[in-house]
Amino acid sequence: MIFYQEKLKNKKMTIPWRVWTRLLLVATAFMFNQPVQAEVCLPPTVDEGLNLDIPCVGVDGQQYTAQILYKAPFWEYLSHAPSTCEWKVENCATLTSTMDLTVPNFALDGLSQIAVLKFDANESAPLRWTYQKHFENRAGESNGFSYNHGTLAPAKPTTEEVSGKKLLAIYMVGSDLEGRYKLGTKDLKELIRGYNALTNKEAIAVVVAFGGAKNWPGMRYASMAQILADSADNKFGNETGDDAYLYNEPRAVMGDKSALTHFLTFLQDNYGKANPRFLVLWNHGNGFLGYGKDQNNNMDGLSLTELHEAFTDSGTEKFDLIGFDACLMGSIEVANTIRHHAHYLQASQELEPGHGWNWEEVIQRYANHADLIEAGKSMVDNFVDNETHGKNRSGKTLSVVDLNQYDFVLTHLNTFADALTAKINAADPATITALNAALSPSSGAESYGKHGSNRLEFDLKHFATLIGGPESEALSQAIDNYVLHANNDGTRQNANGVSFLALNHNLYLSRKKVDKDQMVSFNGYEMNLWENLYVSESVWQLYKTIHALAQSDSQAPTVVDQVADARGGEFLNLDASDPLAQATGVVATFTDENLTTVRTIFGGVKSVEGEDNQLFLSVGAVQARPTEKNGQYFASAWDGQWYVMQYDEDEDPVWMPLAFENQYTDDTGQALTVYTAEVQFIRKVEDEVSTVGFFGDLVELFGDEEEPFPDDLAELEITFDANNNVVAHQVRPYLVIHENEADKRGHLAPGKETFDIQAGDEIRFLSTWLKFSPAGEIIGARFYPTTDGMLEVLQTPVFSFAAILLEDDEGDEMAPRYVMAAEDASGNITLTAPMDVK
């Protein structure tokens, strides 16, 4: 790298603060009309003196040529003029709103690089840039990661008169939801049905930006009239002609802030006089990790930082209401971003089931309610209570909050966080006990966005209530004033309308710690986790305190004793008439000050040939019951029966390796239990085989950490009543998200779509082998498919509770055994040695 090592070795290392008045003058000087495009733009050229001649540079939707002279150690502006060539992303440079210049195809000394030049905002200096960084030139490759935000050609002004009208604007990143399942198409058809049913069509303006899917490359803007015309062949995005869309750019990346900025600017310029203005962001959501995955660009999405920058850069005025038809966006971290750009926020705390909101109802309720808040409340209730649009008992939550009350919530959240931090640092026993209970995955705070044994978010009010104290009460009251309306389908009964980052989520705990100053200095790199989850210094200190507490506890719970033939009445405070009092079972006692949950795992064992070790195959896991003795837990004897699925009338049912998830009582008083299983799942969708993804507790067991996750894995969730009858079941996709090019494996996030298992699907259940030493210590684990291959489902599946036969790989019967597993608040896990079923 001769160029960078020698010719720029004296580059300026510090960047002065931005001088906004100077930027404004420069931006004003660049405001010319967009020229007619002709021949394809050539790449930049660099002469021997390092002077730059750039045939195309994008500035705020405009396109220019530019000449920049090198005057060591910086480049200085010489001239610019309107550009007449046809934009080519791998050749054209871009100038950001802060005047930083990204130059692709920077060819010198036989190398082709992307160079980033940092604007020097020193007011006394001429316009000049200093070298900041370079990286390998990948423009034009299909790896999906954007190295610069690009510049989109400006949109033509609309002629629609919007004064006195309501605005409904939708930013629909189709992603796999459209590319695989045509859910964007379904929602647009719902929108059409709702619009056609309106008696006051003239009172609402509708504009939709859609793209980001395999069948929707780039991005288009369409008015309601254009959507109606586009639907004639039951497909969207395939119209031709200059008037087919308000805007059409096949090279746009909807998961990049440049596209959202462009759309928001278009709305401000053309629909700014509408009142009220309702913007909905449609696609996958992942809480503080961001929103909107572009299927054509490696599922590249928008971080909360990018969302904020897109709104800010567009100069749009505050929307009256911003909604997310996306998962997990009803959090305090999301509100911290959106509060700058809207008065009210409508979003789900939990994963959204089905294909999201019922758009036939959304447009009607928005158009027909004179009061915006009442319209929002009506949309919330319709989403949750409508059984014909997305199954009930599938985790539906939705709320509408008043962002004008955000500061009051934050004030009380800071007070609560300061008090909790102080008590943790003082090792207050009552606080530590309450904290461990709140962090318990099975009986703690209401939680959302399950990632294996982890949760992405906690319900803020429920968590505070479990901690207790006057600070909790004050925070709860502030939340009540902030949440205008919240609803849930009965499965999330402690969903109070706003969530926050799960304090013990290992995505947080496993990352390298940084402080606030470091975090701010990192602004701008891809997927800035810390900036996106940062709410306040008090909350930040609480996160760090919880992290330190977890880091200080590396000791797993200790097994004190275990009994395989215990009688329930001896350990549980039960009336003699209770059947459990006479039942035998398994008991184990653990010591750990931070113990949060204990489960009993049913399974079978086999010997390892040539070894003294044993392999334990996990069949299912149930919640163990605490006895009156501290740290002691009991589970009833296993009678060899477990949950099975009949998939083919000519074949025996297969057992399902289910794990206890939670219990709740529905609005009829019926007690329900939820179990989950890891599966491989394939569904044939519209003549195309579709696979959906997976997340397991022990993902490191599924191949090398450098290998990408497979895409044919999923999570099955089944809800049973007290008589073991199935009330509901669903398969949920997981997405593989790569933070950057170096992240080969990626991380997994829950998808938005859910499925019932149907005839024609293929499925295979995944269990786990645990290897135990002769001393009963676990020394290894791996995933284990319970069948040799995928099972083709040839009937509507029938679930039941029946006796099962456990066989190993060779078809030999295995002896039934118990294992009890204890987990503490830091995620440390201990398993007892396998015990005989008696």
pLDDT, tens digit, for every residue of 368-423? 999 999 999 999 999 998 877 665 567 899 999 999 999 999 999 999 999 999 99
pLDDT, tens digit, for every residue of 762-808? 999 989 888 888 877 888 888 888 888 899 999 999 999 999 988 87
Indicate the average pLDDT of the chain: 81
Assign domain 166-403 one CATH number from 3.30.230, 2.60.120, 1.10.150, 3.40.50. 3.40.50
Instruction: For residue 798, give the amino acid letter.
Output: V
Q: Picking from 36-45, 316-325, 386-395, 544-553, which range would have the lowest pLDDT averaged per residue?
A: 386-395
Beta carbons within 10 angstroms of residue 9's beta carbon: 10
Q: What is the mean pLDDT of residues 475-501?
A: 95
**Residue found by looking up tokens 């609402």 in the block:** 204
CA triple 143-46-69, angle to 5 deg: 120
Beta carbons within 10 angstroms of residue 745's beta carbon: 16
Give the model's pLDDT for residue 91: 77
Q: Picking from 14-28, 202-216, 285-299, 647-661, which range would have the lowest pLDDT averaged per residue?
A: 14-28
Strands (E), 121-184: 128-136, 166-173
Q: Percent of the chain, pLDDT > 70?
A: 79
Question: Comparing 638 with 362, which gets the higher pLDDT?
Answer: 362
Confidence class for position 19, pLDDT limits 50, 70, 90: very low
CA distances from 166 to 401, 423, 535 (A): 20, 50, 32
Strands (E), 666-707: 671-685, 688-691
Q: Distance (Å, rounded) from C-alpha 384 to C-alpha 350?
A: 12
- Asked if 211 and 255 count as a contact pair (C-beta separation under 8 A), the reply is no
Q: Percent of the chain, pLDDT > 90?
A: 42
Confidence class for position 305, pLDDT limits 50, 70, 90: confident
Mean pLDDT: which of 66-75, 383-392, 607-616 is highest?
Answer: 66-75
User: Is residue 183 exposed (0-12), middle (13-18) or buried (19+ Cβ within 10 Å)?
Assistant: buried
Q: Distance (Å, rounded) from C-alpha 742 to C-alpha 730?
A: 34
Fold: same for 166-403 and 558-605+619-637+816-838: no
Q: Distance (Å, rounded) from C-alpha 837 to C-alpha 639?
A: 8
DSSP structural state of residue 193? H
Is beta strand 277-282 parallel, antiparallel or unpaired with respect to 166-173?
A: parallel
Q: What is the mean pLDDT of residues 743-760?
A: 77
Whether 203 has a pLDDT exceeding 90, the answer reads yes
Domain boundary assignment for the chain:
2-136, 166-403, 407-552, 558-605+619-637+816-838, 641-803
Whether 340 has a pLDDT exceeding 90, the answer reads yes
Whether 701 has a pLDDT exceeding 50, the answer reads no
- Return the CATH architecture of domain 558-605+619-637+816-838: Sandwich (2.60)
- Asked if 729 and 756 count as a contact pair (C-beta separation under 8 A), the reply is yes
Whether 652 has a pLDDT exceeding 70, the answer reads yes
- Asked if 541 and 549 count as a contact pair (C-beta separation under 8 A), the reply is no
Question: Comparing 582 with 169, which gets the higher pLDDT?
Answer: 169
Give the model's pLDDT for residue 687: 40
Q: Distance (Å, rounded) from C-alpha 823 to C-alpha 440?
A: 9
Confidence class for position 633, pLDDT limits 50, 70, 90: very high
- Two tokens, residue 651: 């074949």
Whether 513 has a pLDDT exceeding 50, the answer reads no
